[in-house]
A = this chain, B = another copy of it.
């Protein structure tokens, strides 16, 4: 298998590191399919140096020219979508249609990046004082880095580097070492679109690579998406090294089901939001909070019926609804959460712990699971399960429901199902969560707004992509200017022209 080692992409070329490698699995079959080279400190520094060298030229390239590479990049991503989604499916396990959806959300950020000339406009004031002008300009930072998780190997990197690069920065990306192939291929397409060498670099690796990025003084900023403990580590380490940082962490996204909710809409949208991509999404809807037992009973009944039709299986079969989870270890962890809920008194309504996929017996599958009568003090409620598990909490009032959400450590996404304008407005205003849906289960902001949670779901000031992305990847410079008369302009009695 030595011929099949995934390397790094540095200065426009594939580089292999002579040090360690790690297995890459096909989760649908449970087999090791490739090996990935893990970057040593020296290899990461090579990438940083390449980025540093590319910076002066790239920074001085007019924004419109930078944007035109993004226009071309969008075309190439669309033309090569099948190849990208296959690479995602093979290494991540998500079904091809889901991988295509992921790619599409990433492409939308590229589309937004195409508007760079507008997005980078500064502010100009004539006469801050008599004959004194001032303007603020948003300049790139230099070399910036991204560290991304396994669950969206295409989309999450695309949240970062198109914005960073179109703003004039150069980039070093460390994607997840579990499913790096689609990410690397996308980086190659960006070069095919005309990006100069060294502007975009990808290194695979583990903690050594991460720490090199965090400590190297050339790196100006870090964008991170992953779990909260790591996000916290990234944020504080980056700060201790004087860098700016946005670190997005975990989530526990609740839906409140109000008594006036449109139940058909609730059921159909919860299925996708809870079990799509096996729940391995930071915006997965993992807790349904019902107001009143009547709604709870109806919901449980309808969901139970609907879940029977869900189809679990390998990534390559388009009729499947969702696929395996990322590793055997993660499968065991999810099953442990379900069992813990059961032991602590919750009721397992639909149990996916034993689900098998015929012909793929070694794949890392967990069936869709529905748990009723969950309580806030259960371990399965406190943790982010990141699996196809939907937990139901029954409360009597919207107040109780909102208190649950506001007391939880995470504040990434949430939604309410209601037809009532007042309830929705109150919820949106007062809920301590960054991304809020009204009758929308996965309120991921579109690419021209920005993505980010509150509380321990995001560390930093600025959200990711959208207008905040531009601001994160640029540095304000304010110029104040006055010109002394130099006599070139004759005739000081010249009177002010008037209309």
Q: Which residues of A contact B (CB under 8 A)?
A: 52, 55-56, 59-64, 67-68, 71, 74-75, 108, 111-112, 114-115, 117-137, 139, 141-143, 218, 220, 232, 235-236, 238-240, 242, 244-245, 258-260, 262, 265, 291, 396-400, 402-403, 406, 418-426, 428-440, 443-452, 454-456, 459-463, 467-468, 471-472, 475-486, 488-491, 493-499
Can you list 24 A-B pairs with a CB-CB distance of less than 8 A?
A55-B498, A62-B129, A63-B127, A64-B128, A114-B114, A115-B118, A123-B449, A136-B445, A239-B459, A397-B494, A398-B489, A406-B497, A420-B421, A420-B489, A421-B481, A422-B484, A422-B488, A425-B483, A426-B489, A428-B479, A433-B477, A435-B477, A436-B477, A452-B476
Q: Evaluate whether A431 and B259 lie within 8 angstroms (CB atoms) in the complex, with A62-B130, A399-B491, A490-B291 already known.
A: no
Contact B461 A471 (CB under 8 A): yes
Q: Select which of B56, B74, B141, B481 is within 8 A of A437 by beta carbon.
A: B481
Contact A114 B115 (CB under 8 A): yes
11 more contacts with CB within 8 A, not counting A131-B425, A439-B481, are: A71-B71, A111-B114, A118-B448, A125-B446, A236-B240, A398-B488, A398-B494, A423-B489, A430-B496, A430-B497, A435-B478
Distance between Cα atoms of A142 and B67 in the complex (Å): 31
Q: Select which of B123, B134, B476, B496 is within 8 A of A60 by beta carbon.
A: B496
Contact A123 B476 (CB under 8 A): no
Q: Select which of B260, B434, B494 is within 8 A of A477 by beta carbon.
A: B434
Distance between Cα atoms of A68 and B118 in the complex (Å): 17
When distances are taken between beta carbons in the complex, the residues of chain B under 8 Å from A128 are 62, 64, 117, 446, 449
Contact A438 B482 (CB under 8 A): yes
Contact B460 A438 (CB under 8 A): no
Q: Select which of B108, B239, B265, B438 is within 8 A of A235 by beta carbon.
A: B239
Q: Select which of B142, B262, B462, B488 is within 8 A of A484 by beta carbon.
A: B262
Question: Of residues A112, A120, A406, A482, which shows the largest number of chain B Cβ atoms within 10 Å of its Cβ?
Answer: A482
When distances are taken between beta carbons in the complex, the residues of chain B under 8 Å from A447 are 117
Distance between Cα atoms of A439 and B71 in the complex (Å): 31
Shortest A455–chain B CB gap in Å is 8
Distance between Cα atoms of A342 and B436 in the complex (Å): 52
Shortest A457–chain B CB gap in Å is 11
Q: Select which of B63, B111, B419 is within 8 A of A421 by beta carbon.
A: B419
Contact A494 B64 (CB under 8 A): no
When distances are taken between beta carbons in the complex, the residues of chain B under 8 Å from A108 are 64
Contact A422 B485 (CB under 8 A): yes
Shortest A486–chain B CB gap in Å is 4
Question: Of residues A68, A218, A260, A449, which shows the largest number of chain B Cβ atoms within 10 Å of its Cβ?
Answer: A449
Shortest A109–chain B CB gap in Å is 12
Q: Evaluate whether A398 and B491 lie within 8 angstroms (CB atoms) in the complex, with A126-B137, A477-B436, A478-B436 already known.
A: yes
Contact B142 A448 (CB under 8 A): no
Question: Of residues A126, A135, A435, which shows the largest number of chain B Cβ atoms within 10 Å of its Cβ?
Answer: A126
Q: Evaluate whether A476 and B240 lie within 8 angstroms (CB atoms) in the complex, with A117-B446, A423-B488, A488-B260 already known.
A: no
Q: Evaluate whether A467 and B123 lie within 8 angstroms (CB atoms) in the complex, with A67-B111, A424-B421 already known.
A: yes
Distance between Cα atoms of A402 and B127 in the complex (Å): 21
Contact A497 B402 (CB under 8 A): yes
Distance between Cα atoms of A123 and B71 in the complex (Å): 24
When distances are taken between beta carbons in the complex, the residues of chain B under 8 Å from A132 are 440
Contact B123 A125 (CB under 8 A): no
| Those 4 A-B pairs whose CB atoms lie nearest each other, nearest first | A239-B239, A115-B115, A422-B483, A399-B491
Q: Evaluate whether A420 and B488 lie within 8 angstroms (CB atoms) in the complex, with A67-B111, A129-B62, A499-B141 already known.
A: yes
Distance between Cα atoms of A68 and B71 in the complex (Å): 11
Q: Evaluate whether A240 and B240 lie within 8 angstroms (CB atoms) in the complex, with A64-B128, A488-B260 already known.
A: yes
Contact B134 A446 (CB under 8 A): yes
Contact A476 B482 (CB under 8 A): no
Contact B111 A434 (CB under 8 A): no
When distances are taken between beta carbons in the complex, the residues of chain B under 8 Å from A67 are 111
When distances are taken between beta carbons in the complex, the residues of chain B under 8 Å from A59 are 496
Shortest A314–chain B CB gap in Å is 30
Q: Which of chain B's residues has its CB closest to A264's CB?
A: B484
Distance between Cα atoms of A95 and B233 in the complex (Å): 47
Shortest A177–chain B CB gap in Å is 26
When distances are taken between beta carbons in the complex, the residues of chain B under 8 Å from A478 are 434-436, 443, 445, 449-451, 463
Contact B488 A258 (CB under 8 A): yes
When distances are taken between beta carbons in the complex, the residues of chain B under 8 Å from A428 are 477, 479, 481
When distances are taken between beta carbons in the complex, the residues of chain B under 8 Å from A498 are 52, 55-56, 142
